[in-house]
Structure 1
């Protein structure tokens, strides 16, 4: 997903996301204020892969391959109890993070033409974005308001394929983690 604050996304762009619904009561209001993807229809999540293939490449065969690929992974529980930061991003770090990394690595091994974040970053760092701001005091405020309400624990049992229409993201389908 585009990390800008314009709220505009490329039509046909896709993303594979582990939706973390359990975190919405905690982070949802802050994401609405400080993460443009929230108002574009993206729920709280840990990204498995973005961008994935353009939607015109996601045919029945790709859907079947994704179903098989994700189905080979077991569901797991993740705990979000620690805030961390990138330069202008406040996020919750999942524990363990290895199951998220394994999912990303499996998709990239099958579709190497779709590296995480378009190849912008060398390391995969699973995270649940809470707020973007170039002002550190804004991130400090969000972190202070939420820290006492941690942890959030989530059962990750599916990965969702989201598609952008240029303004909003829509869940196209889900793939169960079956193990």
Structure 2
């Protein structure tokens, strides 16, 4: 889900330190990755995504702190319950595409700022970001992003009620 309210704080860092940003992915919290191959996403799949999401409501979220995975710095969404529910709903509908390929037992919602970096670089970015927090956002849609072989682009957007 796009988080445009975070862009002013994270854009420059993401463009430098997050390859997905350079490939066209805006500041976001992932619902499900990987999903279906682009060639398999047709009007029926889009309709099914819409059906899965139609019972979910728009919500407010705050980013007040940073978190880390190995080599990764991210903003922590609070609360994260709705993100988890959306991930579970889509993963339940497409069990052949478990979140992050099934690598993790607990999928932690996050907004990636930097990845593949040493701890010293992440510490510098985190110090800068803490001066920009908190960030408040309203999440009112889920975007379906696809990779066309060279970059990412939005295939469809689904409004949350």
TM-score by length of 1: 0.87
The answer to whether 1:157 aligns with 2:140 is yes
- Residue 69 (structure 1) shift: 1.3
Aligned-residue RMSD, C-alpha? 0.9
Gap runs ≥5 in structure 2:
none
Once residues 168 and 55 of structure 1 are traced to their aligned partners in structure 2, the CA distance between those partners, rounded to angstroms, is 12
Partner of 2:28: 45
Contact kept? 2:17, 2:117, Cα under 8 Å: no
- Residue 134 (structure 1) shift: 3.4
String of CA shifts for 1:78-130, please: whole Å, max 9, x gaps.
10011010011000010000100000000011110010011111111000001
* 3-state SS of 2:29 partner: strand
Cα gap change, 1:133/1:111 in structure 2, threshold over 3 Å: closer, same or farther?
closer
String of CA shifts for 1:134-165, please: whole Å, max 9, x gaps.
31110000011110210111100000011111
Would you identify which runs of 4 or more consecutive aligned residues in structure 1 move more than 4 Å? Answer: none
Cα gap change, 1:133/1:57 in structure 2, threshold over 3 Å: closer, same or farther?
closer
Q: Among residues 2, 5, 21, which one is paired with 2:4 in the alignment?
A: 21
TM-score by length of 2: 0.97
Partner of 2:65: 82
Contact kept? 1:93, 1:127, Cα under 8 Å: yes
String of CA shifts for 1:37-64, please: whole Å, max 9, x gaps.
1010000000000111112222222111
Contact kept? 1:133, 1:139, Cα under 8 Å: no
1:1-179 matches, within 5 Å, as 18-178=1-161
Contact kept? 2:73, 2:122, Cα under 8 Å: yes
* 3-state SS of 1:149 partner: coil
